[in-house]
Structure 1
Amino acid sequence: MANETFLKEIGGKSVVEQIVDNITNAIINGELKPGDKIPTENELCASMGVGRNSVREAIKILGAYGVINIKRAEGTFVTQNYDSKMLYPVLYGIILQKDSANQIVELRKIIDVGILQLAIDKLDSESLHKAEQVMKDLEKKITATNVEAKDIFEADIAFHKILVDITENALLEGICFYVDQITSKSRIKATEKILKEDATEQFLRMHKEILRVLKEKNRAKINQVVENHYQYWEKIKD
């Protein structure tokens, strides 16, 4: 575990932000490793020359982000495993910035390209069978009488989730879950547009193209099928 001297002040930020940044930097630089106990409140106060309230506020922030884990009677430790809460600052930053709708679509395209690349590497007969079953469920929903946009959206979520599951990557699962949460409104609108324009057959075909690329392990077509896949969603601005 790093000693008191690992903390150095960073100018231009509040005291709380300095504490958060320095503890985070210590983790990134390897001075504090997963499972390490961080210095006590008294040690942090002494090493930075700050008050106890500032230290406590910084610890609360890091705890909310899943970076540290407070164990009563034992101390405060660097988190050992991935926690989906770690994605909150990144995703909130995307949501709040100007032109976030377009940037989220761009982000999802990049993520999907990576998912397909990794899914091709991890694909086996069992996972392919599961993907094909989810594809059948999607087709059943799309072709149902009096189908609603929400039903198709949920089946679409399930289809993309099975692709992420194939990657066996917890970080990707977390990112995709929160992207789904913050984009549900615009994606349902895109689905309503598809229904209104009677384009469900094309919508289904786009999903089948993704499954075909996965099944055939055709890496050369990944970028194109992903680009085609979001042609309706990227036209929705909110």
Structure 2
Amino acid sequence: MVERASYLKRLNSESVVQRVINCLTDAMLTKQLKPGDKIPTEMELSESLGVGRNSIREAIKILVYLGVLEIRRAEGTFVCEGFSESMIDPMVYGIILDKTDDYDNLMELRELIEVGVVHLAMQKYQEKELKDLENHLFVLKEEIQKGLGNIDAIFEADNQFHDAVSAMGYNPLVDKINKVVRVLTHGVRLDTVTRMVKTGRGMELYEAHEKIYCMLLNRDENNINELIKGTYFQE
């Protein structure tokens, strides 16, 4: 019989698949399994945990879908190294399906994250990155000036500007959470850009981004909450 790793304990029959997931997740949280480590085989896990191989297989499938594990042909199953975009989807669905969620809660979350993102960027950015952000600002202005038929390009330029600000904070955890929030607010943000352009207020949209750039340039934290909230252009 295969010797059991210390983090593997026999499970009862209730919610077996979820308990296998919990066991492997706990091992990762306690660093008994680290990024890049190979996990035990299905047979080894089955014997060590005292559950059927089908339950092990289903648990692994779920963790692969979540971007936590990866299967390498002829090698085995390994703990992933680094962030995968697939990790965002379950978080998004979890928030969407939460019955307590509403528009006001989402906007409060958006403001909280965006203020934090700008604050971190202000503390950590390098001069070259500020120049790159200025280029993103210039592109946004150019796309806005092209007019009504260019909304998709304007929205993309808007996204690239904010992605650049987020990267300037040098905090991958904040950057990941910011990505989730921006996915959740995609519709709201696209509607805002569309409305601003169609009502001839495209330059107001540009000026809101210019204020963020100037705030970063001057490392001026005064009224940061008011400035960020003022860029949402709610009707």
Q: How does 1:39-50 map to 2 (within 5 A)?
A: 39-50=40-51
Distance 1:184 1:13, change over 3 A: farther
Q: 2:212 aligns with which of 210, 213, 227?
A: 210
User: Greater helix share, 1 or 2?
Assistant: 1
1:126 corresponding residue in structure 2 = 128
1:26 corresponding residue in structure 2 = 27
1:223 corresponding residue in structure 2 = 225
Q: Percent identity?
A: 37
1:89 corresponding residue in structure 2 = 90
Aligned-pair CA distance for 1:14: 1.7
Distance 1:146 1:90, change over 3 A: closer
Q: Secondary structure at the match of 1:73?
A: coil
Give CA deviations for 1:19-60 in whole Å, capped at 9, x if unaligned: 111111111122222222222222221232211111001011
Residue 17 of structure 1 pairs with residue 18 of structure 2 = yes
- The residue type equivalent to 1:80 in the other structure is E
Q: Is the 8 A contact 1:82 1:171 kept in 2?
A: no
- The residue type equivalent to 2:187 in the other structure is K
- The residue type equivalent to 1:32 in the other structure is L
1:113 corresponding residue in structure 2 = 115
Aligned-pair CA distance for 1:11: 7.3
Q: Secondary structure at the match of 1:219?
A: coil
> Runs of 5+ in structure 1 lacking a partner?
none
Distance 1:3 1:36, change over 3 A: farther
Bigger CA drift: 219-228 or 2-11?
2-11
- The residue type equivalent to 2:226 in the other structure is Q
Distance 1:12 1:197, change over 3 A: farther
Q: Is the 8 A contact 1:20 1:62 kept in 2?
A: yes
Give distance in 2, aligned partners of 1:145 and 1:77: 49
Aligned-pair CA distance for 1:223: 1.9
Aligned-pair CA distance for 1:170: 4.2
Could you say what the CA RMSD is over the residues aligned between the two structures, in angstroms? 2.7
Give CA deviations for 1:126-185 in whole Å, capped at 9, x if unaligned: 111111121122122223344543332222112112212323444444444454444333
2:78 corresponding residue in structure 1 = 77
TM-score computed with the length of structure 2 as normaliser: 0.84
Q: How does 1:100-179 map to 2 (within 5 A)?
A: 100-179=102-181
> Runs of 5+ in structure 2 lacking a partner?
none
Aligned-pair CA distance for 1:191: 2.0
Give distance in 1, aligned partners of 2:102 and 2:48: 40
Distance 1:21 1:211, change over 3 A: same
Bigger CA drift: 185-194 or 164-173?
164-173
Q: Is the 8 A contact 1:4 1:43 kept in 2?
A: no
Give distance in 1, aligned partners of 2:146 and 2:81: 46
Q: Is the 8 A contact 1:84 1:174 kept in 2?
A: no
